[in-house]
Amino acid sequence: MAFHVEGLVAIIVFYLAILAVGIWAAWKTKNTGSEGDRSEAIIVGGRDIGLLVGAFTMTATWVGGGYINGTAEAVYVPGYGLAWAQAPIGYSLSLALGGLFFAKPMRSKGYVTMLDPFQQLYGKRMGGLLFIPALMGEMFWAAAIFSALGATISVIIDINVNISVIISALIATMYTLVGGLYSVAYTDVVQLFCIFLGLWVSVPFAMSHPAVTDIGLTAVHQVYQAPWLGSINSLDIYTWLDNFLLLTLGGIPWQAYFQRVLSSSSATYAQVLSFLASFGCLVMALPAILIGAIGASTAWNQTEYGVPDPMTKKEADMILPIVLQYLCPVYISFFGLGAVSAAVMSSADSSILSASSMFARNIYQLSFRQNASDREIVWVMRITVFLFGASATAMALLASSVYGLWYLSSDLVYIIIFPQLLCVLFIKGTNTYGAIAGYLFGLVLRITGGEPYLYLQPLIYYPGCYPDENNIYVQRFPFKTLAMLTSFFTNIIVSYLAKYLFESGTLPPKLDFLDAVVARYSREHMDKATLVKSDNIVLNELAPVNPRHSLTLSSTFTNKEAFNYVDSSPELSNTEDDN
């Protein structure tokens, strides 16, 4: 394939436009945030993101290069089709459920990152543990879409894949570095506009190509391949449900989503943005579905692509750029490609910013440097944006199974973080002991279930499993949802068991080494005799013991070493002393 100068120029124009918007947003908001809270302004945008920008950036949480490429691929692949294109409905429901149940409690309490409630209730140790799957999900997602972008660009303009990945990553990292959430949000507006316009302009041209049969006919009749509407085999229905629940419920506990929620001016506003983004997810999937259907309705031997077809060549994952390249006029295909490449960065920049935000606040500041200045936190964020961007780029270039790693890490978000989020927001009485037990049980059940993408053989063979072409056993049983439910109920059971054992006196207070039930500084949990015997509390600190029935959730289970916050303020304050 020849080198296409026009295609390269088109992509350069798109990239320069996005970079310009990102830098403009950073300049426009450089003085946002009073002295002392600039880091919070970078993470949550000063909590004043507007309706239009907020709706676009919330939609861009999931709508990006992977979303539109993956949807087109699912519709195109014979034997799967639209019935298996779960992302549009799954992520749309995810945003709707997030708006209904999760946005209000998170935003109303003034958290800054998704990990804040975990550290407030379970302590900094548990916050560090939950940071691991959250970081893995964000980083492998960014690496996967960078990898997909390189392959996409190489289809149309035939330039080196590595060069395209590096340039794309540099641009996304650059404007995220200088502008934080503001730059990410404003560039999301441009990127989603490019996707919508670029793909919808391409669809009529591709559909009118002489080699394309009416997609209404091929939807229900076999012409060149199985009907693109697809079907769900009775043996695969549990797998379908397992994956659908993973997308719907596992799409909620991501920092990229809650970063938008927490940047809203109010809890109600956060809910509205979630509902708008839910609708936006469905709308943005329509052109990708049509392009996948067009690919399934094309006689490829009548095009310049020739034979065999993309499925036979194992290029089904690139059906969208292939349709743009071979079924559209040159100028249209280049415009569509610019849209696709722009879409990738709308997801990658969000993931990079999310990872750096969690590290700077929840790991660096709240766990190690509670007296760190705001300027110090800002610089930590900038350094980690660069490091995480470079790491995602390196994985995209070097790892042979980036998608496999992302699938596994997204499973861990669903199995570990989602049940913990349910407990920390809605289940009274859970504590660090239950959280750790649930974490471990969920992790073990997921790993022992195997992962075909990573050639990981299962240790537990659930009913209905079968070997694939590589002799790796694939599970039909919904073991991911089983692991999630096990993690959830384990957290509750162990938490209440630990609470009973300590409060009944079965276990002495000194065994509460995590300070999760009998907090060292909580008067409600210690009588006067215990306080007098304590070496680190003097007599003038004694106060009457409150009745047991007056305990509140925050006073009972908050690990005060992790958070020092002012009760009268709805916002979590930056820690000003180190106890």
Token duo for residue 519: 């907090």
Q: Counting beta carbons within 10 angstroms of the beta carbon of residue 200, is it exposed (0 to 12), middle (13 to 18) or buried (19 or more)?
A: middle
Computed over its alpha carbons, how large is the radius of gyration of the chain?
A: 25
Helices vs. strands in the chain: H and E counts, helices first: 22, 2
- pTM, two decimals, is 0.83
Q: Residue 201: how many CB atoms within 10 A of its CB?
A: 15
Given a contact cutoff of 8 angstroms between Cβ atoms, the answer to whether 456 and 450 are in contact is yes
Contacts of residue 3, Cβ cutoff 8 Å, sequence gap at least 6: 157, 158, 159
Q: Are 382 and 42 in contact (CB under 8 A)?
A: no
DSSP class per residue in 77-115: STTTGGGG--HHHHHHHHHHHIIIIIHHHHHHTT-SSTT
> CA–CA separation, 66 vs 321, rounded Å?
12
Q: Quick check: helix, strand or coil at residue 498?
A: helix
d(CA 368, CA 565): 17
Separation of alpha carbons 197 and 142, rounded Å? 24
Q: Which residues contact 442 (CB under 8 A, 6 or more apart)?
A: 412, 415, 416, 419, 483, 484, 486, 487, 490
d(CA 106, CA 489): 22
Handedness of CA 27, 28, 33, 39 (dihedral sign): negative
Angle between helices 5-28 and 124-157 (to 10 degrees): 150
Predicted pLDDT of residue 343: 65
Q: Which residues make Cβ contacts (< 8 Å) with residue 193, sequence separation at least 6?
A: none
CB 480 within 8 A of CB 447: no
Angle at 525 between CA 522 and CA 530, to 5 degrees: 95
Distance, first Cα to last Cα, the chain: 66
Q: Which residue has the tokens 């190509």?
A: 209
- Nearest one of 546, 540, 534, 492 to 510, comparing CA atoms: 534
Tokens of 449: 């279930």
For residue 6, give every residue at least 6 positions away whose Cβ sits within 8 Å of its Cβ, in sequence order, or none. Answer: 330, 331, 334
The token pair at 387 is: 């490091």
CB burial readout 389-415, b (16+ within 10 A) else e: bebbbebbbebeebbbbbbbbbbbbbb
pLDDT of amino acid 524: 36
CA distances to 75, 447, 471, 472 from 454, in Å:
24, 11, 13, 10
Q: Are 396 and 146 in contact (CB under 8 A)?
A: yes
d(CA 42, CA 300): 49
Task: Give the span between the Cα atoms of 430 and 110, in whole angstroms.
Answer: 21
Given a cut of 70, the residues of the chain with pLDDT beneath it are 1-4, 6-7, 29-38, 151, 155-158, 342-346, 399-404, 519-579
pLDDT at residue 279, rounded to an integer: 94
CA distance 410 to 404: 10
Q: Which residue ranges form the domains of the chain, and what is each CATH number?
A: 5-414 (1.20.1730.10), 427-524 (no CATH)
What are the distances in angstroms from CA 49 to CA 64, 354, 470?
Answer: 20, 17, 49
| Residues 381, 360: Cα–Cα separation, whole Å | 6
* Amino acid at residue number 370: Q
Which residue matches tokens 């749309």?
Answer: 92
